[in-house]
Amino acid sequence: MKSTTALHSELSIPFVRNSVKLFSFSDLTDYDGKGGDYVRYRLSAKLEPCPQEKGHSETECYAEILSREEFEKNYPEFSADRALLRSLEHPHYCKAELLPNCAAGTLLLPQKAGLSGEGTALAFILDRHRLIFLDDSGTAGQFLEGFSAVNIPKDSGSAWLFFEFLESLIREDALFLQRYEKRLDGLEELLLESDGKDFGSKLHFYRRGLLRLGSYYSQLTDLADSLADNRNGLFSAKECRNFELFSDRVSRLSSHIRALREYSLQLQEIYQSKIDVRQNKIMQFLTVVTTLFMPLTLIAGWYGMNFSDMPELHAPYAYPIVIAISIAVTVIEIIYFKKKNWFH
């Protein structure tokens, strides 16, 4: 039986775009989380790193990565906003809330190299000119470092950059789910060609992963829909359309997950039917054995009463006659059972 780590490693997929390595779930464990010498990036023709202490204009768009302690120190005005802090607390799932002057929320990203393990948690604050990540894991830093070599479309702002970040989370998920489906196909072949040893534990592993991904995609859809609603007028029509497109893509992934879960349920039913057939064969065998010995048990019990007036007890040929009758009854039963195919 393959270990859980081995099964996870077969499903991990690297992500490469335009020869620039961007965010990938499979690379999270390889990143040191330091994010280089800079934690702030300015949006221009490309994503340019700039010193944190360097000033910026009010119309300049930038992205910044901070720990929670650095955030409270550098942005005391945000730290005093209870509604904002409430949005950034408890990053146990993906969510987004539209506040009067910004959008804030949390992300819990499952690691596809280990779906059964803990995910990567981070928070974000997004307004017209700023995208702030509160991240101690290095996930956002890895994305921004890789994205710095990508040409940025004209008039793109912080909302576009956050949209690209969200896109990077799911860009290779269709291939990942195809590989997941192939693994389920392999389980089906294993079940049909053998007795299904270790099938139950493997299927449980994959179904648990599908449940985790299904919940993750559902949360991402709600997050994107919240941003696309744009109740606070923070985003342009084009930016809202981007979030709607992202929501549609995640919805298609959710549909794929539902199909795979139905497939896994069918495999579970096939597996259960094979167990039922095996149990029925065992019960049939026990029934045949019990039926074979039932007449012999009756004869033994009948003549085991040892009443003094039983004539067979004193007959000289009673014992061999009883033996012959027992053999004859057994042979007749075996012939009958063979005709009924009870031995198969």
Would you kindly state where each structural domain of the chain is located, as residue ranges?
4-275, 277-339
Confidence class for position 36, pLDDT limits 50, 70, 90: very low
Cβ distance 142 to 57 under 8 Å? no
pLDDT of res. 3: 52
Q: Between the ranges 47-51, 274-278, 305-309, where is the mean pLDDT highest? A: 274-278
pLDDT of res. 196: 65
Cβ distance 163 to 249 under 8 Å? no
Distance CA 193, CA 157 (A): 56
Which residues lie closer than 8 Å to 312 by C-beta, 6 or more apart? Answer: 303, 318, 322
**pLDDT, tens digit, 9 for 90 and up, residues 200-227:** 788 888 888 899 999 999 999 999 999 9
Q: How far is CA 101 from the centre of its chain?
A: 35
Which residues lie closer than 8 Å to 207 by C-beta, 6 or more apart? Answer: 261, 264, 268
Q: DSSP labels for 173-197?
A: HHHHHHHHHHHHHHHHHHHHHS--T
pLDDT of res. 101: 87
Torsional sign, CA 171, 176, 181, 182: positive
Please state whether beta strands 40-43 and 20-21 pair in parallel, antiparallel, or not at all (unpaired): unpaired
Give the residue, 157 or 22, on which the prediction is more confident: 157
Q: 78-87, 269-278, 310-319: which has the minimum mean pLDDT?
A: 78-87
Q: Decide whether 4-275 matches 277-339 in CATH topology.
A: yes
Q: What is the pLDDT averaged over residues 144-158?
A: 84
Distance CA 243, CA 164 (A): 10
Residue 344 pLDDT greater than 70, yes or no: no
Residue 277 pLDDT greater than 70, yes or no: yes
Cβ distance 11 to 180 under 8 Å? yes
Distance CA 277, CA 316 (A): 50
- Selection from 29, 39, 30, 206 nearest residue 119 by Cα: 29
- Render the burial of 318-328: b for 16+ CB within 10 Å, e for the rest: eeeebeeeeee
**pLDDT, tens digit, 9 for 90 and up, residues 7-22:** 544 554 433 333 333 3
Question: Cα–Cα–Cα angle for 17, 20, 25, nearest 5°?
Answer: 70
Please state at what angle helix 318-339 crosses helix 237-303, rounded to 10 degrees: 160
Q: Does the domain spanning 4-275 belong to CATH 1.20.58.340? A: yes
Query: Nearest 5°: phi and psi at 131?
Result: -130, 110
- Selection from 168, 152, 176 nearest residue 256 by Cα: 176
Report how far apart, in Å, the C-alpha atoms of 256 and of each of 24, 130, 177, 234, 263 are.
Answer: 20, 34, 8, 32, 10
Cβ distance 43 to 157 under 8 Å? yes
pLDDT of res. 18: 33
Q: At the topology level of CATH, where does 277-339 sit?
A: Methane Monooxygenase Hydroxylase; Chain G, domain 1 (1.20.58)
Confidence class for position 194, pLDDT limits 50, 70, 90: confident
Residue 47 pLDDT greater than 90, yes or no: no
Which residues lie closer than 8 Å to 237 by C-beta, 6 or more apart? Answer: none
